[in-house]
Structure formats: C-alpha cells, structure tokens
C-alpha cells in the first residue's frame, strides 16, 4: 500500500496507522509527507515497525518526509533479508529490502521504495535521487516504488509493447507527467496502477481545494515492466491509513510470505505470561495464589515418580504458568479503552474521504462540509479518550491510597501506566543495516 499521510506527528496518528494495518492485514505500506525529523526506526510491540526519513529539522506544520510501515509478516520478511535500510537520500526517498517466496517456493527479494516528489523539487535532483535509490537494489530483486509523484501520467490505449502507462486512469497528463514517464522508461518501469480497471468512482487519489472540479491521479505504484506479471491488482483503496485528503493505493503481488518455523524457547514463552494477578497482599490476590499453588500440586501428582522431585516441581510450575493470561500488547491503552467509538468515527471519516473523491460538482460543497465535520468528531473523540484514560488512572490512585504509606497494587499499577505515557510506538533498539551516506543526492 502507498499513502500520503499528511503528517505523522501525534500519538493518534500512529494508533490510526497501526490499527488500520492490523484490521486490513497490510504487509507493508509506503508513506509520504510524514513531516517528521531525521532518521527514525520506531517499533510497535505486537503490531509492526515504521522506518522513517525526514528533514534534519522541521518548523511550523512540517513538510516532506517518507517512511515504510511494516506489519508483523512484513517485519519478519525485512529481518529475513538482513534488516537492510537505505535512507541516505534526503527526506524524499528511502528503501528497504524484503525476502519472500514466490508460488514455486523460490526466494524473491523485494526492493521496496517510498518516494515523494514535491512540486518544488528540480528534475535534475529528482533524477539523481531516483537513480541512486534504485541502484542500491540487489541483482534480481523485484522493484516496487510507492509514490506521491505530483504528476499526471495520463493513459496509453495504443496497445503497443513497451508502454510505461496502461489504458486505465485519468486521461489527461501534464509536463511533470511526461518527465516522470521518461524516468520510468529509462529504468524499463511501468505505472502498475494504470493497468487495472477500477469500477465506479474513478481513478483519482487527490482533489485540490483550489481546483475542486478535478480529481487528480498522482499517487502510484511503479514496478519493472518484467515484474508486472506478478501484480494481480493495483488500484485506489476505499480506506485510509491516516487522516489525510489523499486516497491510498493498494498493490497485490503474487508472492508468498516466507515463514520460518521457529522453535520458541521455554523461557521466551513464560516471559509472555502476565504474573500480575499473583502480586499483592489483598484478599483476592491471596485466593489466586492459593489456587495457583493447588494447581502446581495437582500437576506434581499427575507427573508421577519417573523423575526426581526438582524436575517434577519445575515441570509443574511451567505447566501451571502457561495457564496464566498472556501479557497485553498492541494498541495504546487509551485507544483500546475507546476503540469501538474511535473505530466508528474513523470509518465515517474514511467514507467521507471516499465520498469527496467521487462527488459530482453539485455535491462537492456538501461532501467537503461532511469531511470537516467528521474530522472534528475524530479529534474530539481522541481528546476525550486520552482524558478519560488519564482520569481513570488518577481515580484508581485516589481510591486505592488509603494512607500516606499504604498503597495497593492497583494504585501502583496505575502510577506505572501513567509514567509509561500515552504513546506505545517507541524508538527501536535494533540498528538496521544499510546506508547512511552523507553525500547522497538530496532534495532538501
């Protein structure tokens, strides 16, 4: 998937991104206009990873910035390929390598590029960066470029071999589109998004507020012409990964994820259990401790006398511990608390964006009004969800603290949660392999 995000700077932007990727089972997503600073590798435990490249410093709203978000399967494919990142090209281009399997079981490398061509970027600089980010691929890798190219490519219905655009899409082009097609031709690449017919609603991915009568098709997936046969679908998506006025574009590649069967160590399995229910001195906790001990004793008796007492005790403890609930993971707690309400508003917002994309001239004013209204509801729901979660933790502390030096486990848990903060997307401790060229072509 590729999506112009219109900024990824707030807590809720990442909750929106990761919840959408989880719900739609997105393998990987190319992101443009993230408006973030510097080079970042952010992890969301249990959901995925985001690799980002932005300007050295931002001011005001921010500008530029690209990234690639990976779901859990995408993260594994990235690690299988060596966690390679190419991010030395400035704030408008980056690439990673993924390793997957094709239908015949052969390993296939994917050189996935996220590119943002802003309208002020001179074409010489654009061409240098374009060539550099593609040249760092490995021989034989499939090249996929997700981009907001700010160019109108038009269509080619001649049916001649070697055409860089197909017969489907908006028919008009412009000078930027002609230059973009020359770059594609220089690399024997095609705009995959123009080779698949879309139903009602058209092909445009962005509507300019200055020229609302046109729906512009400026977000694309590019690939090598020889790899087009691997693409089974490529078109505008009905949903969104972020609160933005661009529609996302999806691409389906005919490959299978390479899933290595890993044998989990017993210690790793036990680390994922939640032992919090056995910590504390209150009456309910004492009952759970007693039940846990009885369960261990029953298992020792069942295990028989074929091993020594220490081995039997360890085996019983492990088996009983596996009955405990798993550690919580995934979305931030404030988001989980209000996920039903936030999910409903997010769905309305995505529907409002889609309605604006296909609205006829007489209905565009109403469609814009509806989108503004729903975006306002989304921001209000986010504020209420965050405030409600914080207030709930504070009430727990107040209710549990019965004396200056006597606090229950729930109070300390609430304090720990508040100290952890609202954001669950954190900087990764893993250092990716790849380029950090200081002298690479830059668009800044």
How large is the average pLDDT for residues 329-348?
A: 80
pLDDT, averaged across the chain: 81
In the chain, where the domains are located: 2-260+425-435, 273-321, 333-420
- In the predicted model, is pLDDT for residue 114 greater than 90? yes
pLDDT for 301 equals: 80
Among 113, 187, 130, 176, smallest CA distance to 150 is for: 176
- In the predicted model, is pLDDT for residue 414 greater than 80? no
Tokens of 125: 């600089």
How large is the average pLDDT for residues 123-152?
A: 91
**361, 311 Cβ separation under 8 angstroms:** no
Among 352, 327, 348, smallest CA distance to 46 is for: 327
- In the predicted model, is pLDDT for residue 4 greater than 70? yes
pLDDT for 63 equals: 86
How large is the average pLDDT for residues 183-210?
A: 82
Instruction: For 235-285, write each residue's pLDDT tens digit.
Output: 888 778 888 888 889 999 887 544 444 455 666 667 777 777 777 677 777
Query: 183-187, 242-246, 348-352, 392-396: which has the minimum mean pLDDT?
Result: 392-396
pLDDT for 211 equals: 67
Query: 31-40, 303-312, 425-434: which has the minimum mean pLDDT?
Result: 425-434
What is each CA distance from 143 to 63, 211, 386, 392, in whole angstroms?
Answer: 26, 34, 41, 49
**350, 238 Cβ separation under 8 angstroms:** yes
* Phi, psi of 30, deg, nearest 5: -85, 130
**Cα distance between the two ends of the chain:** 25
Query: 254-263, 285-294, 424-433: which has the minimum mean pLDDT?
Result: 254-263
pLDDT for 98 equals: 94
Angle between helices 364-400 and 339-358 (to 10 degrees): 170
**Which of the residue ranges 69-78, 100-109, 314-323, 392-401 has the most confident prediction, judged by mean pLDDT?**
69-78
pLDDT for 409 equals: 64
Distant-in-sequence, close-in-space partners of 241: CB < 8 Å, separation ≥ 6: 1, 3, 5, 16, 17, 20, 21, 26, 29, 31, 69, 248
- CATH code for the structural domain at 2-260+425-435: 3.60.10.10
Alpha helices in 304-421 (DSSP H): 309-321, 333-337, 339-358, 364-400, 409-420
Instruction: For 14-36, write each residue's pLDDT tens digit.
Output: 888 888 888 888 999 999 999 99
How large is the average pLDDT for residues 285-296?
A: 86
pLDDT for 239 equals: 78
The number of C-alpha atoms within 13 Å of 310 and in the hemisphere containing its C-beta is: 0
How large is the average pLDDT for residues 398-407?
A: 56
Query: 48-62, 118-132, 256-270, 326-340: which has the minimum mean pLDDT?
Result: 256-270
What is each CA distance from 297 to 137, 270, 313, 314, in whole angstroms?
Answer: 58, 19, 8, 11
pLDDT for 43 equals: 86
pLDDT for 201 equals: 61
Q: Higher model confidence: residue 226 or residue 334? A: 226
pLDDT band at 422 (very low <50, low <70, confident <90, very high): low
C-alpha 257: how far from chain center = 17
- In the predicted model, is pLDDT for residue 404 greater than 60? no
Where in 118-188 does DSSP place strands (E)? 142-148
Distant-in-sequence, close-in-space partners of 190: CB < 8 Å, separation ≥ 6: 163, 164, 165, 166, 184, 222, 223, 224, 225, 228
Q: How far apart are CA 144 and CA 227, in angstroms?
A: 9
Distant-in-sequence, close-in-space partners of 122: CB < 8 Å, separation ≥ 6: none
Q: What element of type H or E holds 435?
A: strand 433-435
Instruction: For 44-88, write each residue's pLDDT tens digit.
Output: 888 889 999 998 888 877 889 999 999 999 999 999 999 999 998
pLDDT band at 109 (very low <50, low <70, confident <90, very high): very high
pLDDT for 258 equals: 47
Query: 100-109, 134-143, 426-435: which has the minimum mean pLDDT?
Result: 426-435
Cα dihedral 171, 176, 178, 184 sign: negative
């Amino acid at each position: 998937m590729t999506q112009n995000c219109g900024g990824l700077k707030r807590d809720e932007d990442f909750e929106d991104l990761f919840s959408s990727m989880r719900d739609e089972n997105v393998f990987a997503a190319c992101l443009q206009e993230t408006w973030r600073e510097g080079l970042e590798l952010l992890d969301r435990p249990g959901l995925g990873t985001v690799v980002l490249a932005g300007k050295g410093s931002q001011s005001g709203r921010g500008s530029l910035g690209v990234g690639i978000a990976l779901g859990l399967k995408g993260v594994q494919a990235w690690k299988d390929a060596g966690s390679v990142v190419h991010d030395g090209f400035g704030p408008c281009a980056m690439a990673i390598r993924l390793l997957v399997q094709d239908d015949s079981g052969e390993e296939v490398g994917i050189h996935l590029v996220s590119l943002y061509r802003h309208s002020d970027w001179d074409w010489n600089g654009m061409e240098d960066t374009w060539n550099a980010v593609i040249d760092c691929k490995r021989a034989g890798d499939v090249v996929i470029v997700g981009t907001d190219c700010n160019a109108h490519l038009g269509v080619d219905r001649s049916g001649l071999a070697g055409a860089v655009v197909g017969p489907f899409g908006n028919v008009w082009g412009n000078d930027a589109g002609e230059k973009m097609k020359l770059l594609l031709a220089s690399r024997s690449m095609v705009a995959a998004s123009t080779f698949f017919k879309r139903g009602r609603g058209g092909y445009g991915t962005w509507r300019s507020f200055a020229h609302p009568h046109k729906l512009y098709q400026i977000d694309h997936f590019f690939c090598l012409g020889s790899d087009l046969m691997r693409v089974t679908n490529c078109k505008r998506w009905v949903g969104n990964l972020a609160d933005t006025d661009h529609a996302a574009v999806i691409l389906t590649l005919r490959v299978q994820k390479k899933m290595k069967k890993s044998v989990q160590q017993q210690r790793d399995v036990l680390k994922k259990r939640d032992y919090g229910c056995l910590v504390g001195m209150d009456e309910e906790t004492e009952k759970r401790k007693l039940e846990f001990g009885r369960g261990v004793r029953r298992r020792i008796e069942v295990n028989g006398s074929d091993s020594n007492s220490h081995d039997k005790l360890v085996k019983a403890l492990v088996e009983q511990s596996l009955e405990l609930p798993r550690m919580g993971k995934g979305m931030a707690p404030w988001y989980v608390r209000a996920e039903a309400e936030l999910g409903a508003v997010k769905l309305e917002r995505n529907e409002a964006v889609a309605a604006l994309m296909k609205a006829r001239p007489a209905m565009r004013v109403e469609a814009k009004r509806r989108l503004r209204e729903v975006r306002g509801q989304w921001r209000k729901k986010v504020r209420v969800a965050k405030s409600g979660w914080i207030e709930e933790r504070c009430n727990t502390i107040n209710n549990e603290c019965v004396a200056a030096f006597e606090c229950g486990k729930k109070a300390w848990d609430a304090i720990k949660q508040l100290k952890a903060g609202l954001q669950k997307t954190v900087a990764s401790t893993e250092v990716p392999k790849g380029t950090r060229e200081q002298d690479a072509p830059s668009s800044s």
